[in-house]
Amino acid sequence: MMVEFAFEKGGEGWMHSHPHVQSSYVAEGTFEVTIEGRTETLEAGDSFIVPSGQQHGVKALESGRLVDCFTPHRADFLMR
């Protein structure tokens, strides 16, 4: 499953975990990405992977977009 998220400057994806493997691509902007307590700054063109069950979150240092891929699909994201 592929999902695009838009963030305003200062927007956050709060720390959380899920059983899905997540790969994310920074399509636009700059983000502070934290995975299991390790924080890095990523810019447009960078990517990251979050293994199943690991705590992670992001903060937009400027407005931007992330494209996230999940496997298996996120049933909680599907409209009914």
In order, the DSSP letters of 32-80 are: EEEETTEEEEEETT-EEEE-TT--EEEEESSSEEEEEEEES--GGGS--
Output the pTM of the full model.
0.90
Q: What is the pLDDT of residue 80?
A: 66
Q: Each residue of 7-62: pLDDT tens digit?
A: 999 999 999 999 999 999 999 999 999 999 999 999 999 999 999 999 999 999 99
Query: What is the band of 73 on the pLDDT scale with cuts at 50, 70, 90?
Result: confident
Q: What average pLDDT does the segment 56-76 reach? A: 92
Q: What is the pLDDT of residue 63?
A: 98
Domain coordinates in residue numbering, the chain: 2-72
CATH topology of domain 2-72: Jelly Rolls (2.60.120)
